[in-house]
Amino acid sequence: MIQHVEVLTAATLGLAGYGLYSTVYGLVDLFRPESLEVWADLTLVVFGLVLAISAPLVRVAIPGGLALAIGALLGLEAIAIHNVTHDYGRVVAAPLVIRGVFSAVLVGLAWMGARKEAGDSR
């Protein structure tokens, strides 16, 4: 049986990794010749940093930490819709669905781990 510590650790690492990836991607894209608009890159950086900062808050079960992470994930998903139109010339559902499922899994892991840590037996 998977223990709550392992679930919370997996969620924390996933949230932090996704946040850092988004931040680095936004910073690198600022200096590429064919990059996105500056505001789109800066939005990636900001939401990535918010997600990376919220990851340890989720791990130690600070009230509002998961809500902050969900907000950052929704922001990253929203900017991904904009970015995919630049990458493919149209909205392509596959990368957006994969990103959304990954985010939902991370939130589910964090929520289950937090419930177990709080002593909820349901």
Please give the chain's pLDDT, 122 residues, in tens. Answer: 455 568 888 999 999 999 999 999 999 999 888 778 889 999 999 999 999 999 999 988 888 999 999 999 999 999 999 888 887 778 888 889 999 999 999 999 999 888 777 666 55
The per-residue pLDDT for 44 is 94
Angle at 29 between CA 18 and CA 47, to 5 degrees: 40
Those residues whose C-beta lies under 8 Å from the C-beta of residue 8, and which sit 6 or more positions away, are 58, 59, 61, 109, 110, 113, 114, 117
The per-residue pLDDT for 5 is 64
Gyration radius of the chain over CA positions:
16
**What's 35's DSSP letter?**
-
Q: Two tokens at 65? A: 């930490």
Q: Tokens 């994930």 — which residue?
A: 73
CB 23 within 8 A of CB 44: yes
The per-residue pLDDT for 73 is 96
The per-residue pLDDT for 71 is 96
